[in-house]
Structures are given as C-alpha cells and as structure tokens.
Structure 1
Amino acid sequence: MDTAAYGIPHASRLMTDFAERTGLVGSRRSSRRYLWTDAFAVCNFLELARLTGDSRYLELARHLVDEVHHVLGRYRADDARVGWLSGLDEREGEAHPTRGGLRIGKTLPERQPDEPPDDELEWDRDGQYFHYLTKWMHALDQVSRATGDPRFNLWARELAEVAHAAFTRGPPGRRRMVWKMSTDLSRPLVSSMGQHDPLDGLITCVQLEATSALLPGAAVGPEPRRAVEDFAALLRVTDVRTVDPLGLGGLLSDAGRVAQLGASEAFRDGALLERLLAAALEGLSLYPLYGEGSQPASRRLAFRELGLAIGLSSIGWIQPAVGGRPLQRLRSFAALGSELVSFWLAPEHQAVRSWTEHRDINEVMLATSLIPEGFLVLEGSSGPVGVARDGFRPDPRG
C-alpha cells in the first residue's frame, strides 16, 4: 500500500475535525487549547501544506500558533490575575507572547500555595510542564523552517530562555530540574525531575541555534548556550533508558533530530546518538514484556502507543547516520510501529472510553503517525534531509 496516498486524506480529515471541534475554526465561542496536542497539530498542518500544496493548512498552522499564545500565554478566565503570564503590557505581550511561558491547558486551575498536594488531582491541574514547552519550541521552530519567518524561532528562543531559568535550579555541579511549575513560574508544583527533560532541553536548544543561523535576517534574541551547557551536564548523570512507549518514541524522535543536527558542535562526535540508540534498542527489546499489546483497547492509552509509532518512523532519518548492526536491529522493530497504528485505526478500538476521553490528543497523534515528516524532519538542516525524505518508513496499515 502507498502509505502517503492513504495517510494524507485520513490525516486531513482528522486534523479538519480537530480544528472544528476545538474552536480553531467554525462557530465555537471559545478556543479549547492544550499545549502538547497543539504542538503536534501545528506540525501536522505544516506537513499537510507541504504534501498537498494547499495554503489553507499553512494558515491553520499560523492561526493555531496565535490561538495558543492568546489562550495559554495568558491567565485563565477563572484566575483573579489577568493578562499575559509574562506581566508585559498588551503591546509588548503581543510582540513577545512566550516571555512568561505557556500554560498546559488542564481542566482544573493550579494548586494554590495553601492547598495540600494531591498526586491524583495534580494530573488534572494547570501549571507549566517543561516537556510541553520544548514541544512548543519545536513546533514554533518548524514554522520558521517551513516559512522562513524568523519571528517564530525568536519566540521559541525566548521561551527556551524563560523555561531554562524557571525549571533548572541549584548551584553549578548540583543543578537539577523540576517537573511542574506554577502558571506564573514562581514556585514548583511537582519538584521531581522529568527523566528526559534535560535531553529534550539540550536537543531543542541546539536546534533553535541551528535554525537561527540558517534564517536570513534572524531576529536578535536570546542565545541558549548557557542552557545547552546546563542540560548537557544534567544529561551526563541521567539514565535515559525506559520501557514506556511514549518515552521510547521520544528517544527515537530525539535520535532522529540528533542525526539531522549531527554537524553541530554538540553532537559532532556521535556519542549522544549512540547513547540514545542503545537506550532505545534496550527498551524496545523489553517492551513486549512490559507493554500493553496483549491488553484490550479499553486498557490501553492510544496517544502513548502512537508516540512510539511516531518515533519508529524516524528510522529513515537515523539511517544515514548509523549503519551495521544498530540499524539492522532498529529496522527489526519497524513492524511494531505499523501494528500500533493499524490497531488504533480500527473503528472498534476508537469506540472505547480510553480513546473518546482523550480524543483530541489521540486523533492528532494518529494523524502525526500517518504523516510524521512535519514533526520529525528539520527542513533545511545540515543533516541528510534529502536522503531522509526518501528513506524507510513503515506502512501504518501493516
């Protein structure tokens, strides 16, 4: 089966439905925004624009960026505080919408300073997540790479600066990160460190620097070199191995970005790519023992499994940078990605509560798994993008 021929119309339907359902287009009075989902959605719209030549998708990507900044870059409607999270006035806030970070978009307001922690309730409370911010930085950067407009890269670099300052704490040699911060970035809500946060921070900051160097007339703004140093130091003492499907997919997606950014000073020796592939291969070999593949759809979370499928699609972008046994082992897991996508394409599996309760994130990531290049490919990077465009990608229908 021609994967692209099948994936484009299906992904287009998924993304059109998402845009209407969440108030991006149509007659809904309010825009329902969630940062992680919207980051993938921006990349999907960019890819649909590239694949179809239809400029409406590019306009949807730009409009979604604007909506996210105006909804998640400002305080909630039920918050006593008003305006931009940064505290900037309206004019400056419009010019620098990411200067205060971006809310997650959870249904409940953040935990107040006098409220006791509740581990279960915290999942539904608002605030800021570092790994969501890095996803948005990546989405903004992809808009700059696709359009040549340096503003989006500038906003991503400004977001990187504020995120690094807020989430990374402690003196040199004893620095660490926190998992979740308050909406105004004034206090930690969850003090433990996200396992892959230093990794995401390092790769994303290197990517933003690389893009800024590529763009003619790039705006003067923050240079994330201090952040790169901090994240690299934290990563040296962080175990990135995992059997979680979303985490494994992240490792593979990150490996694809490192392969494309391989000419950068931070990744030139190949050590990080080798480390990520070793961790991913170990996790993939153990995944059948810990994964949910034998469970019914009602006991599985689609977006986590689709994250792994998206990561497995990056094999084509990793391929030119590696060879021999590691590549052969990676390719041996490609069928897993096809199986996961095929499973979640089945209408009966989309009828279960675990799908319908997370419909937005599930459908957007399903669309990404069908047209993954918008999320995975760094247009114009110094990596082998031309090879990757024609590289291996698993058929999602099996």
Structure 2
Amino acid sequence: MHREENVTLAGEIMLDFAALTGVSREEKPQRRYLWTDAFAVCNFLELYHRTQDEQWLLLALRLVDQVHQTLGRHRPDSAKSGWLSGLGAEEGERHPTRGGLRIGKKMEERAPDEPMDERLEWERDGQYFHYLTKWMRALTRTSRVTGDACYLRWGMELAQTAHRAFRFSGPDGELGLHWKMSGDLRRSLVPSVGQHDPLDGLVTCCEMLCAARHFPDQELPDLEQEIGELTQMCRGRDFSTSDSLGIGGILVDACRTGQLIVNEAFQDLALFQRMVHDAISSLEDTGSGFLDQPAKYRLAFRELGLSIGLKGAARLLRLFEEYPDVRGGELAEWLQPRLEEMLWFHKLSGRIEEFWIEEMRKRTEHWRSHGDINMVMLATSLAPGQFLRTD
C-alpha cells in the first residue's frame, strides 16, 4: 500500500475505534484500557500531523482526559473512591498521574489475602510498569504537538511515581522492577521482573528530559535519579527474545534511542549497540515461519508490534544516513551493515499488515476477540510517525 492509502485506512480504523470505545460518542459506554489508549493517542496525533484536521487533535486530547478521569481513579466497584494518589478533587485534577494509572482490566485486582491464580492474574486489574511507560510517551508526544508543557509534566510525574513504586532492591542489592503492582501501588501483585521494563523506562525518561528542553521557562520534575538507577538495571542485561511483540519493542526502543543520540540526549552507546545486536539475533532466531500459520494460532497485536518495530528499524537507518557524522562517524559505520541486515526482515512488515487487514475486513471472531488493541496497533503500523518520534 502507498503511504497515502495507509494514512486513509489508519484514519478509518481510528474513527471506528473512537466510536466503539466511547471517545467520540458520548452515548457509548467508555472502554478504557491503558496500553490501547496510549497507542491510540499517538495515532490521533499522527493523523493530525498528516492532515492538519483539528478533529484528530480533539480526539487525542479527549482521550487523554478520559484515561486520567477513568484509570487515574479507583474502580467504580472498589471500596475506595477518588484519585489513586489520594489527592483531593482539585489537586488530583492538576496532577492526575501522581497515583499512577490502572491497566483497565475487567476483573478487579486480587485481594491481599487471596491466593494467586496465574491464569486469572492476566485478567485482573492493577498497574503494569510497561503500560505506564507507553502512557508517558503518549503524554510527551501530546506536549510536543500542542506546545503545552502540562502533558509533559504529567508524564514526568508518572515516571517518578512508577519508579518509586515498582523499584525494589534484591537480597544482593541488585535493583529491579516488579512486573505488576496493585492499583494503589502499595503491594506487588506479580513480583517477577519484566525483561524489557528497565530499558523502556530508561529510554522514555531520557526522551522526556529531551522534550523538556523545549520548555526552558517551565519548572519540570528532575528524572536524573530514575535515569541513573534504570541505567544500572540495564547493564549486562540480555534483551533477546522469541516473542514477536518483545522484538518489536526492542526495535522501537533502538529507534527512539538513535534519535536521542543524535539530539545528544543519550550517552550510553554500548547499551544502544546491545539493543541493536539483541534485536537482530532475536529476528534471526525467530524467522518468518509464523506467517505460514492460520489466524487461529496467531495474535494480531503481537505481530503488529513486530511490524511497528521493523518500521522503526527502517527509520533508524534513514536517520544515520542523514546524520553520518554523529559521534565522529564511528557509530554510523558500525550501525549501517547491521541495520541493512535487519532490513532484510522489513518485508515481514508488509506481509503482517496485509494478513491482518484481511482478517479485520472479514470481521473474524479471532480478530474481534482482541478488537480494540488489534485496531490501534494496525493503525500504528500503517502510520507510525508520532509513535516512533522522539523530537
């Protein structure tokens, strides 16, 4: 598909999403889910950037407000009420992310005295660190597009809150991040450590500090401590994975990091090289055999995450072709053959999109079972600009 056709289809998908989930139609019950909504905000901003049609910007801002008003507060079926942060009504409106944001799962979170059921835990509410970082990105892009520093401030306050709540120190003193916390951030629901959470947190915090340069007259939160500790968590870590969504995530982080390096907002070149190396290794090990499987054995949003990451790899190659002399040119020289090797896989992106566009148009049950997240991630893959940009 041509770029214009991609944007048109992405627009159609996002209009459907807005109507179905209560963003554009007040009579429709809201269906807020943090991961999905973070991608959706970036999609609305990209459509605004491409078309200059104000409706897309209004949808992005409306969705930001809905997420804060819904997921920044306790569930309607909870014994607690108000903002997760415990702030009063007016102060909570000024700082809606100070208590974090709920995932948006249908089932309430596990009670303190309730035994853990690993299968049910996937369906229960709480807070995920890697969902919070996606929302930080959405707020950062909203701030850059609108020129309003309040969105960036909310993202940075969320970073401080999340880091403080999820961070732990093991018996050997090694720092890590819990996988899942309760809605009030007072107890760990899943203590295991997410493989890519520290990396995603680090890149996102560096991105927010870079964005803060555009608001020199604003007093914004300081994230140096968070960046230092997240850097420590990333050192010596193996990011390779066989999960298509995880591979896409590494590629997206590498793309964002490359842009931060060009903007002199990321200094750890060894970590950047590790991202690229592990992404290539993961792609080579995974291959493309999954594309031959029928839809019922595949998950659209996981494959579309890989497709988005492959778009990021192509963007990264173009970036260092445009700025070949960054860090004396040695980085571009090291990077080019590796990215060209990675781009051999770029054709997978088109095949993934074509397959799931057809499934979407057939409205198969398999597509509709994860309809909201499938829709927004397909739209992101078709028009990924704002999701991949850091400046």
- TM-score, with length taken from structure 1: 0.91
Contact 1:300/1:354 (CA < 8 Å) preserved in 2?
no
Alignment of 1:106-125 (within 5 A): 106-125=105-124
Contact 2:241/2:247 (CA < 8 Å) preserved in 1?
yes
Contact 2:311/2:349 (CA < 8 Å) preserved in 1?
yes
Inter-partner Cα distance in structure 1 for 2:92 and 2:35 = 22
Residue identity in the other structure for 2:131: Y
Inter-partner Cα distance in structure 2 for 1:153 and 1:364 = 23
User: Which residue, 292, 303, 308 being the options, matches 1:305?
Assistant: 303
SS in 2 for 1:111: coil
Alignment of 1:184-263 (within 5 A): 184-218=184-218, 220-263=219-262
State the partner residue of 1:58: 57
User: Which residue, 324, 343, 356 being the options, matches 1:331?
Assistant: 343
State the partner residue of 2:328: none
Alignment of 1:8-47 (within 5 A): 8-47=7-46
Alignment of 1:335-374 (within 5 A): 335-347=347-359, 351-374=363-386
Deviation at 1:354, TM superposition (A): 2.7
Q: Percent identity?
A: 48
| Structure 1 unmatched ranges of 5 or more | 382-398
Residue identity in the other structure for 2:196: H
Tell which deviates more after alignment, 221-230 or 87-96: 221-230
Contact 1:110/1:126 (CA < 8 Å) preserved in 2?
yes
Deviation at 1:349, TM superposition (A): 7.7
Residue identity in the other structure for 1:208: M
Inter-partner Cα distance in structure 1 for 2:150 and 2:360 = 43
Inter-partner Cα distance in structure 2 for 1:168 and 1:350 = 44
Residue identity in the other structure for 2:132: L
Inter-partner Cα distance in structure 2 for 1:24 and 1:217 = 33
Inter-partner Cα distance in structure 1 for 2:378 and 2:139 = 21
Inter-partner Cα distance in structure 1 for 2:382 and 2:189 = 35
State the partner residue of 2:174: 174
Tell which deviates more after alignment, 350-359 or 263-272: 263-272
Deviation at 1:269, TM superposition (A): 5.1
State the partner residue of 1:105: 104
Residue identity in the other structure for 1:368: T
Deviation at 1:163, TM superposition (A): 0.2
Inter-partner Cα distance in structure 1 for 2:60 and 2:20 = 16
Inter-partner Cα distance in structure 1 for 2:185 and 2:354 = 40
Shift in CA distance, 159/129, structure 1 to aligned 2, threshold 3 Å: same
Inter-partner Cα distance in structure 1 for 2:208 and 2:216 = 14
Give a deviation string over 1:275-309, Cα, whole Å, max 9, x none.
111001001111127x6322210111000000000
Contact 1:144/1:152 (CA < 8 Å) preserved in 2?
yes
Contact 1:303/1:361 (CA < 8 Å) preserved in 2?
yes
Give a deviation string over 1:330-362, Cα, whole Å, max 9, x none.
211110111111111114785333311100000
Inter-partner Cα distance in structure 1 for 2:242 and 2:91 = 44
Inter-partner Cα distance in structure 2 for 1:23 and 1:157 = 27
Aligned: 1:48 with 2:47: yes
Residue identity in the other structure for 1:185: L
Give a deviation string over 1:24-63, Cα, whole Å, max 9, x none.
1214353110000000000000000011110110011011
- TM-score, with length taken from structure 2: 0.93
Tell which deviates more after alignment, 322-331 or 154-163: 322-331
Alignment of 1:69-108 (within 5 A): 69-108=68-107
SS in 2 for 1:151: helix
- RMSD over aligned CA atoms reads 1.6
Deviation at 1:173, TM superposition (A): 3.9
- The number of residue pairs the alignment matches comes to 376
State the partner residue of 1:315: 313
Deviation at 1:265, TM superposition (A): 5.9
Structure having the larger proportion of residues in helix: 2
Tell which deviates more after alignment, 319-328 or 35-44: 319-328
SS in 1 for 2:29: coil
Contact 2:23/2:30 (CA < 8 Å) preserved in 1?
yes
Residue identity in the other structure for 1:307: G
Give a deviation string over 1:141-196, Cα, whole Å, max 9, x none.
00011111100000000000000000011279422110000000000000000000
Tell which deviates more after alignment, 228-237 or 191-200: 228-237
SS in 1 for 2:30: coil
Give a deviation string over 1:53-79, Cα, whole Å, max 9, x none.
101100110110000000000011110
State the partner residue of 1:295: 293
Deviation at 1:264, TM superposition (A): 5.9
| Structure 2 unmatched ranges of 5 or more | 321-331
